[in-house]
Every structure is written in C-alpha cells, then in structure tokens.
Chains A and B, each alone.
Chain A
C-alpha cells in the first residue's frame, strides 16, 4: 500500500473535518460536565477534536457499547419466544474524529481477543464500518506512559488517518490504511496538497521527539512482564491494593478492559437482554451459584487485574492489555496509578 501524506494548515484541517461531517456519520468528543465523551455530531461547533487527553473518555464504547441489546424474548402460553433485537446500529459507515493514539491502539489489542475463540460479529462489523482519524498528542499528560509499553507510538498503524501538528502551523494528514487512503482521496485532496513522505519525515520526527521527551513516567515493561509472572504470591499486592476502594471505575474507563455482565430488563411477559460493562474488581464478579467466591479478598481481585493486563494477556496474545493512557489513574478517586503499582510490585521501587 502506498502511504499518502498531505500537508495543509489549521484552516485546511477545519475544512477537512467539516467536509467529513457533511458526508459521513461522524463521532467526536463532546463536552458535558467538563468531561469529553464521543458522541454523534453534525458540526464542529458541538465538539472538540483536539480535546485534552486527561478529560476525554475512550472510543471503546463505539465498538463495545456500555450496554448492548443482545436479544429480546416474550413468554407466551406455549413457551418462550426468543428473537433478535430490531435495530442494527452497525450498518452505517462512520468516521471518528479526535481519537487519541492510545485509544486507537487499544482496538488493535482488543481485536486479538475478539477474533480468538468466539468471533464477535457485532464488534467486527463496527470495526469494518469505522474510519478512525487520530491526532497525535503534542504533549504527554501527567499520567500518560504509552511510550513505555510494547508498541511503537511513532509508527502506529492502528488508526486509519493520522493527523500531526508540525512546525510553523503546518498540519500533516497521513493515510495509514486502505480505508484511510480512500477517505483522504475523496475528502482531503481539495483542501490540502500532497507531499512525499521524505519531505514530511523530518518535521514529523521533530514533533514526535518533542512529544516523547515530555513524559514524566518511563519504564521498561519487558522487564515487568517477566518479573510479574514469577511473583503471584508476593504480599506486596496486599500492600498496594490497601487504599483501593473497589469502585470499579478504572475498568469502566479503560480502553482495553472487556469484561461484561448479562442482565435482563423485564416488563410483564417481555424482556430485553443487555450485555453491559463489568469489572473484575467487583466483589461479586467471580461469585458462583451456590455462594463460592474464588476471589473473596480485595487484593486477589486487584492482583487479577494487574496480572491479566501484564501477564496473562501477554502470554496468550503477545501484547499487554494496557496502552498507557492513564485513564484509570485520572478516574480513580484515590489516584492509584497502575504505573506506580506495577513499578512497586515488579521492580520494587517504592514511593
């Protein structure tokens, strides 16, 4: 695939975004109560594709909804009739603006589990029908640590179109996949000029180096993976989980967590079944029929979360179930940092 790069300025980027909004179903960060969440938008005035990373929810709910209708049922005198839900929200082609690199990467990580044992067709369809436009951050936030993890942030190909703010107000728009290339060829050519990759490379490199140099948190995670796998029984997990209040919000905002629960909404003889988010930090998460709970203590649930992210998923799929976005730390009411905790348990450096 030929990589296509275009260059324009800030005004050109805005007209590019507006052209997309006019011709596609578009999702972008919309501010409500000081927090940005991805919602369908009609104009650039409603949203902010450059929303600050610390205040933006992930794009995961657009692929794995917070609550998805699974089926509906009707109890009749002859038995129960089960049927598909009527709506098919996945049929339309859509574009996401202002996705962060970490969010886009999270989908690559999730693809592995969704294409594994059972193929989730709804997820697949949403993935195929979506074009992701991602802007590279100019500066890392307090809790960001994406460059410490096992993926190449600079040459990430998880998004379909990459937008980079270069020097002197230049904006580079780069196709990363066939889908992105098709979108650019229909939308961007009117507002931007084509440049060769070689011409754009020095400026892109410079922007990345400035971004990579702005990280507060840095660690070598390959070391973490091997160390964590050997210390399942360390009492350190009990210490680090001490101030966790088991509120579960970390899992709900995490772009890679994918556990869910099934619940029914019943009205008289009819019912609607939902698949909604759940968290392994929930006390009842592993509770079985009959009352046995294999993870009754908080530290065991905590350990499960850390081990699943950095050991089990890595062993099975070769990747960390963490993209270093820091959303869990920002959302945590007591600011438990997964970076700090893993550092403390695996490397042994304590605050």
Chain B
C-alpha cells in the first residue's frame, strides 16, 4: 500500500486551484521508517507527504485544533478515520464544504514489529466511507469479529478480570493523553476537568482514574471507531481498547448490528430510537 505519489499530486493540485488552506497528511520522521503527521500550508512542502502502511495516526484529530479551525482543509483518511470523520460531520463539529477528503481503501497498518495491527486484522470497514477522491480498490465491508482480547478476558473468572482492570487503573498516570488524542473527544470543557467534581478530581488515585476512564469509555460507546489513537498516546501502554471494544460488541449485538460512523447521518445507537431496540433491561 503506497499512495505517496497520488497524495502529493492531489495536494499540489488543491493548492494550485486555491481550494485549501492547509493539507493534513503524513511525512517521514527523518530517522527511521516511521511517520509523523504533518500540516502543510506551503505548497512547496507537498513533496514531504507520504502514505504507506506505516501511516498510523488518525488525522481527523487535527480538525479540532487551532491550525485547522475555520480553514479549508485537505485531509487523508483511512477506513477507520473516515468513520470518525463521519461522526464529526453528523455531530456538527466540522463543515463538509470546508473539507477536501482523500479517502484510502486501506489494506491494514503495520506496527513496529512488522505485524498488521490487531484492529486492522479485525477491521470491518477498510474503505473510506467519506471521500471526495478514493484511492485504491474498494474491498467492501468485512464480517464483524469480536476482539481477541475481549474474547480472552470474557473466558476468565470475574475475580481475575477485576484484578486485571484494577492493575490497568492503578497504572494510569492521569495525563489525559488518551482523551486529547481521541478525534471524537472535542468538548471544549470536559466533565473530567471540572475542578470541583468529586469523582473525577485531578488526583492520580485509582478511583479517580477509574471514574475518568469509565466516563470516557461510556461517552464513546457506540461512537468509538477503533483507530487506537488513545493507545498510541498512553505513556503507560495501557490496553485502552478493551474499554471500548467491550461496549462495541454489546452494542453490535443489541442494537441491530450498529457500527459507529459507517452510515452518513447515522446518529448512533444512543441517539436514535427504534422499535427494535431491546427493552428487556428496562422495568
């Protein structure tokens, strides 16, 4: 998977035609084969752009920063990224007319060890669902798979699972990098930043970490697209995807096989009412 040339050409064309102010893509980090996101404002810099199977970060996150706000933005999105973009559009966080989206039919991202990332192996929607231009050959929607780690955890007894998650919350250092790197955490004032809140006080205690992470995970229930930006940001390497994938599988089972952000204008499992919704848990 290498779309470097195509993306460079598209970006150069967009700048020449004056369609965009900034192009968000990837560049090489300059010393090994890993890449970093880059925001290009100078048309001369388009030659820096690359796209390979190492282009890992979800760039939709940049739509909420100072550098892109109220600007016309060109953007590269993979399948999972495009789903989060779809949600940003549905939730009125960005205007479609301000964006030029280069969609990728993604074949999976490779991690440092040379293996395909687990979320790419289990990916349901590899092709970009929002795009002005689609690169690659669409391979269509894949069957849904329950995450391997969730399946492995579900097989363990409750005490073991509790001990495992206690360890996760103990090792959280409360830097909130997971939240900041999540494209769908765009609230101007997050509830876990309230100075006077009892549950989420800024302290680095296991209980505060538990409440902050669980609230975060519930706010992303039915919205998380499994791009794993949060895990890349976590300085303690916590398995944060477990919090989201569990919600995802429950929602998939109970809410008519709902998957976040796949259908444009779909408001998501928790935001719409359907007669088919299960009500056996309501008295």
Encoded as 1 (CB less than 8 Å from any A CB) or 0, chain B from 172 to 203 comes to: 01111100110000000100010110100111
Asked whether B233 lies within 8 Å of A333 as measured between CB atoms, the reply is yes
Chain A residue at smallest Cβ distance from B37: A243
Asked whether A37 lies within 8 Å of B171 as measured between CB atoms, the reply is yes
Asked whether A274 lies within 8 Å of B235 as measured between CB atoms, the reply is no
- Residues of A with C-beta under 8 A to B203: 67, 263, 265, 274, 276
Compute how far the CA of A265 lies from the CA of B206 in the bound complex, rounded to whole angstroms: 13
Chain B residue at smallest Cβ distance from A35: B237
Assuming A32-B167, A216-B31, A299-B66, is B198 touching A249 (CB within 8 A)? no
Q: Is B210 an interface residue (CB 8 A)?
A: no
Q: Is B61 an interface residue (CB 8 A)?
A: yes
Query: Which residues of A from 239 to 293 have beta carbons under 8 Å from B?
Result: 239, 241-249, 251-253, 261, 263-267, 274, 276-279, 284
Asked whether B175 lies within 8 Å of A277 as measured between CB atoms, the reply is yes
Asked whether A277 lies within 8 Å of B37 as measured between CB atoms, the reply is no
Asked whether A33 lies within 8 Å of B195 as measured between CB atoms, the reply is no
Contact-residue size bin, chain B (C-beta under 8 Å from the other chain): 35 or more
Compute how far the CA of A165 lies from the CA of B181 in the bound complex, rounded to whole angstroms: 40
Encoded as 1 (CB less than 8 Å from any A CB) or 0, chain B from 64 to 97 comes to: 0111000000000000000000000000000000
Assuming A66-B174, A333-B232, is B36 touching A33 (CB within 8 A)? no
Asked whether A243 lies within 8 Å of B198 as measured between CB atoms, the reply is no
The residue from B29, B39, B205, B235 contacting A57, defined by CB atoms under 8 A apart: B235
Asked whether A253 lies within 8 Å of B239 as measured between CB atoms, the reply is no
Q: Is A97 an interface residue (CB 8 A)?
A: no
Compute how far the CA of A265 lies from the CA of B36 in the bound complex, rounded to whole angstroms: 39
Compute how far the CA of A266 lies from the CA of B200 in the bound complex, rounded to whole angstroms: 11
- Residues of B with C-beta under 8 A to A82: none
Q: Is B249 an interface residue (CB 8 A)?
A: no
- Residues of B with C-beta under 8 A to A246: 65, 180
Q: Is A345 an interface residue (CB 8 A)?
A: no
Asked whether A247 lies within 8 Å of B175 as measured between CB atoms, the reply is yes
Asked whether B65 lies within 8 Å of A276 as measured between CB atoms, the reply is no
The residue from B32, B180, B205, B236 contacting A248, defined by CB atoms under 8 A apart: B180
Compute how far the CA of A137 lies from the CA of B275 in the bound complex, rounded to whole angstroms: 64
Q: Is A298 an interface residue (CB 8 A)?
A: yes
Encoded as 1 (CB less than 8 Å from any A CB) or 0, chain B from 43 to 73 comes to: 0000000000000010001100111000000
Asked whether B177 lies within 8 Å of A249 as measured between CB atoms, the reply is yes
Compute how far the CA of A242 lies from the CA of B62 in the bound complex, rounded to whole angstroms: 9
Encoded as 1 (CB less than 8 Å from any A CB) or 0, chain B from 159 to 174 comes to: 0000000011001011
Asked whether B181 lies within 8 Å of A247 as measured between CB atoms, the reply is yes
The residue from B65, B202, B205, B237 contacting A33, defined by CB atoms under 8 A apart: B237
Q: Is A1 an interface residue (CB 8 A)?
A: no
Rounded to whole Å, the gap between the CB of B96 and the closest CB of chain A is 23
The residue from A249, A263, A265, A266 contacting B175, defined by CB atoms under 8 A apart: A249
Compute how far the CA of A241 lies from the CA of B41 in the bound complex, rounded to whole angstroms: 13
Asked whether B66 lies within 8 Å of A252 as measured between CB atoms, the reply is no
- Residues of A with C-beta under 8 A to B193: 284
Asked whether B198 lies within 8 Å of A267 as measured between CB atoms, the reply is yes
Q: Is B12 an interface residue (CB 8 A)?
A: no
Q: Is A335 an interface residue (CB 8 A)?
A: yes
Assuming A33-B237, A245-B65, is B177 touching A351 (CB within 8 A)? no
- Residues of B with C-beta under 8 A to A34: 237
Q: Is B220 an interface residue (CB 8 A)?
A: no
Compute how far the CA of A238 lies from the CA of B66 in the bound complex, rounded to whole angstroms: 10
Which of A247, A249, A266 is most buried by chain B, counting CB atoms within 10 A of its CB? A247
Chain B residue at smallest Cβ distance from A69: B203
Chain A residue at smallest Cβ distance from B235: A331
Compute how far the CA of A246 lies from the CA of B174 in the bound complex, rounded to whole angstroms: 14
Asked whether A334 lies within 8 Å of B36 as measured between CB atoms, the reply is yes
Assuming A216-B31, A261-B202, A276-B174, is B233 touching A247 (CB within 8 A)? yes
Compute how far the CA of A173 lies from the CA of B31 in the bound complex, rounded to whole angstroms: 35
Q: Is B7 an interface residue (CB 8 A)?
A: no
The residue from A263, A274, A297 contacting B66, defined by CB atoms under 8 A apart: A297
Asked whether A32 lies within 8 Å of B36 as measured between CB atoms, the reply is no
Asked whether A33 lies within 8 Å of B176 as measured between CB atoms, the reply is no
- Residues of A with C-beta under 8 A to B236: 32-33, 35, 37, 57
Chain A residue at smallest Cβ distance from B38: A243
Asked whether B67 lies within 8 Å of A242 as measured between CB atoms, the reply is yes
- Residues of B with C-beta under 8 A to A249: 175, 177, 233-235
Chain B residue at smallest Cβ distance from A327: B235
Asked whether B36 lies within 8 Å of A66 as measured between CB atoms, the reply is no
Assuming A245-B180, A274-B202, is B235 touching A35 (CB within 8 A)? yes
Q: Is B34 an interface residue (CB 8 A)?
A: yes
Assuming A263-B203, A335-B36, is B180 touching A247 (CB within 8 A)? yes
Asked whether A274 lies within 8 Å of B201 as measured between CB atoms, the reply is yes
- Residues of B with C-beta under 8 A to A216: 31
Asked whether B36 lies within 8 Å of A252 as measured between CB atoms, the reply is no
Q: Is A196 an interface residue (CB 8 A)?
A: no
- Residues of A with C-beta under 8 A to B175: 247-249, 251-253, 277, 279
Rounded to whole Å, the gap between the CB of A329 and the closest CB of chain B is 10
Chain A residue at smallest Cβ distance from B207: A265
Query: Which residues of B from 223 to 243 have beta carbons under 8 Å from A?
Result: 229, 232-239
Chain A residue at smallest Cβ distance from B34: A335
Q: Is B247 an interface residue (CB 8 A)?
A: no
Report 9 cross-chain contacts, Cβ distance below 8 Å, ordered by A residue: A32-B167, A67-B174, A243-B36, A246-B180, A274-B202, A276-B204, A331-B177, A333-B232, A351-B30
Which 7 residue pairs across A and B have the least CB separation, nearest first? A252-B175, A333-B233, A274-B203, A247-B177, A249-B177, A247-B180, A67-B204
- Given A35-B171, A276-B202, 8 new contacts (CB under 8 A): A142-B32, A245-B65, A245-B233, A246-B65, A247-B177, A252-B177, A276-B203, A298-B66
